[in-house]
Amino acid sequence: MDDPYQNNINQQGETYPTYGEGGEYTYSYQTDYPPQEEEDAASDVTEGHDDDDQMYEGEYQGIPHPDEIKEARRAARREARMKARMAAEVEEETLPDQYESIMEDCGHGRFQWTLFTVLGLALMADGVECFVVSFALPSAEKDMCLSNADKGMLGLIVYVGLMIGAVLWGGLADKLGRRQCLLYALAINCIFSFLSCFAQSYGFFIFFRLCSGIGIGGSIPVVYTYYAEFLQMDKRGEHLSWLCLFWMLGGLYASFTAWGIIPHYGWGFSMGTEFQFHSWRVFVLVCFLPSVAALAGLVFMPESPRFLLETARHDEAWMILKQVHDTNWRAKGEPERVFQVSQIKMPQAQDDEFIEIQSETGTAFQRFMVRHMTLVKQVMKNLMSLAAPDLRLHGLFIAIVWFTMAFSYYGLGAWFPDQIKYLQFEEYESNVKIFHREKVERFHFNFTLQNQVHKEGEYIHDGFIDIEIRNVKFEESLFENCYFEDIRSTDTFFENCTLKNTVFYNTDLWEDSKFINCKLENTTFLHPKKGCHLNFQEENDILIYLVSFLGSLSVLPGNIIAGLLMDKIGRLKIIGGSMLGSAGCTFFLLLCFSQWAVVVFQCLFFAASAAAWNGIEVVTVELYPASKRATAFGVLNGTCKLAAIISTFTFGKVIGITKIIPIILSFSALVCGGLLAFKLPETREVILQ
């Protein structure tokens, strides 16, 4: 007869681990008595005696009652089930610990520095993307004759693309893989950045820049998630902070190339009147080179082994970890060191696998739709899981910190150049020359007309040939028998004027846009110029490039301080102290009344806020588990871009009206975000979950 203590099937059909030595989960329950024969036990039950009145006959022989035996069995099973659950929990909890031990054994060396360079180029491409349109816009608006509404939309479309890309690629990276999604994102950015260089119409240009932004928008969430999973705990804060330096290099690269390329009008070419390729397009073309370099380098990089373990691809993860180990120790002069990990613990639950559709099932389109709809459902499920009770509160806090930091940083980042331009314009307007009731006959204008207002003048038999007219306004004036040829104009208008027997030949003075409430009598427009005149001396002022260059360079001290102190004083002190410090710099902007004062405080603001960005990104990586890390980072980075859209739009509306609103809003946001940052959990000594 089988031993009843080895029975592992209960009445409901559940299967439990055995209690003997052969089971996976052992239990050392032993009785002090021999097994009771089933015949004896059955006879006691069927004799019909009253158990309460009559004493059990085996009691004097030391034989337990059958009810006691059953109760002992139940207790043993309950304890075995508890041990099984505890063993499963220990199995799950030890995976992060074991992975951390493996990364410590692999060391930090050549492999991490190679990956650091490749991913840094991807971050650099993101930094460039934020500056491309703002530098090209002054020329592009003239080349495409954009209205103020079009200019505003073009300035915001970059952030819209970055916001969509951050959420999209962050969510996909937790299901398809960090490396694969980053490859797709960079490829999309390269393709559409290249196409935007040649787009002649505003519609195509804005569409290509939107798609380019969607591509590169995935770089920040995926890059930080990807790189963090190759770092051990004591290196993570420092080296993720050094990675932020590449975003600064992106701003420097964009500023320097714009300064060196855009003012050189002769670097472009044209094919008739339909295709124009001016120097600002050369600048846009050069700006997608960091993305190309990152894409080429990423081809030779492996997938994150932490992601592979989460998706039950044990063998691939082991091979990559061995590659990291061997690469680092070979570079350190220890090629004989052996990778000793033979087994890696796996997560218990793997319920998010893709549905594999056989090639014989349905049509190719049906298989495509099933696979991709499954992927969409998994991404949405992962997105919704960020609202779980254990993540909800901290997620809300860090989202507010992201939003307040981005609202101030991007808003003031766009406000500084616009404020400088406004101060320049005010100074320029203060020197305007006004001519009232002048009368000029048979005169040949062969010199530049600039910053002038002509009221109630008379111009008879005059010639305006091969000149530039900049910021000139003719009001209630008479032009009779005049001749305009090869005119290049900027912000020049004729208002309430009368033009008689006048010819415009090869000019950019258009009848429908430059003449406001004018009376045209026998006036002809011959061979009007296609497009608008590019005035590089005005629209591309060197000071604007210098401001952006200095602003990008000023974050270097903040990045260095964050890198050195991130693992020493903690993430929260870095974030809170940096945000409160930048709030102080913002408040003193109220005292700025000159261009160079604005430049100085811009540099101080960027320097003070750089460390906060480093801390926010490090905490975001460390706060979430591996299965949700990229998704959470993507959502938070998308929140950041939403704040950028709101602040740039808001601050742009008050340029020239008041500077109090941008300063007060930025100051309040930074103080609130800085104080709230101290409520976040400190992740300095936390293993990546």
Mean pLDDT score across all residues of the chain: 79
Residue 516 DSSP label: E
Report the range out of 23-27, 619-623, 683-687 with the highest average pLDDT: 619-623
pLDDT digits (tens, 9 = 90+) for 319-362: 888 888 888 888 888 877 877 777 776 665 444 444 555 556 66
What was the pLDDT predicted at 347? 60
3-state secondary structure (DSSP) of residue 604: helix
- Would you say 424 and 443 are in contact if contact means Cβ atoms under 8 Å apart? no
For 155, the enclosing helix (H) or strand (E) is helix 148-176
The percent of residues above 70 in pLDDT, for the chain, comes to 80
Cα–Cα distances in angstroms (integers) from residue 414 to residues 317, 645, 670, in the given order? 44, 11, 17
DSSP state letter for 589: G
Name the pLDDT band for 20 (thresholds 50, 70, 90).
Answer: very low
Q: Which two tokens stand for residue 668?
A: 């309040």
- Would you say 80 and 16 are in contact if contact means Cβ atoms under 8 Å apart? yes
pLDDT at 623 over 70: yes
pLDDT digits (tens, 9 = 90+) for 354-412: 455 555 666 777 777 777 788 878 878 877 878 888 888 888 999 999 999 999 988 88
Strands 275-277 and 269-271: antiparallel
What confidence tier does 40 reach under pLDDT thresholds 50, 70, 90? very low
**Tokens read off for 688:** 């990546």
% residues pLDDT > 90 (the chain): 18
Distances (CA, A) of 283 to 33, 145, 539: 90, 19, 15
Mean pLDDT to the nearest integer, 283-303? 91
Q: Quick count: other Cβ atoms within 10 Å of Cβ 65?
A: 15
* Distance (Å, whole) CA 554 – CA 600: 10
pLDDT at position 118 is: 93
CA distance 519 to 163: 49
Contact 477, 455 (CB under 8 A): yes
For residue 499, the surrounding DSSP H or E stretch is strand 498-500
In sequence order, what are the residues at sequence separation of 6 or more whose Cβ sits closer than 8 angstroms to the Cβ of residue 284?
A: 132, 136, 193, 196, 197
Instruction: Give the mean pLDDT of 608-622.
Output: 88
Kindly state the tokens that stand for 166: 């951050």
In the prediction, which pLDDT does 237 show? Answer: 83
Whether the per-residue pLDDT at 278 is higher than 80: the answer is no
pLDDT tens digits, one per residue of 429-486: 778 889 988 999 999 998 888 889 999 999 999 999 989 888 899 999 999 999 999 8
Higher-confidence position of 445 and 12: 445
* pLDDT reading at 550 higher than 60: yes
Helix ranges (DSSP H) in 360-488:
364-384, 389-429
Instruction: Give the H/E segment covering residue 242.
Output: helix 233-243
Alpha-carbon gap, residue 268 to 284, rounded angstroms: 12
- Give the architecture-level CATH label for domain 435-526: 3 Solenoid (2.160)
Average of per-residue pLDDT across 22-29: 37
> Residue type at 65?
H
- Minimal CA–CA distance to 77: which of 152, 168, 12? 12
Q: Is 671 helix (H, G, I), strand (E, B) or coil?
A: helix
Nearest to 615 by CA among 668, 560, 576, 672: 576
Looking at residue 177, its pLDDT comes to 87
- pLDDT over threshold 50, residue 276: yes
Residue 448 to residue 427: CA distance in whole angstroms: 20
Q: What is the pLDDT of residue 339?
A: 78
Read off the pLDDT of each residue in 659-675 and give the average, rounded to a whole number.
Answer: 89
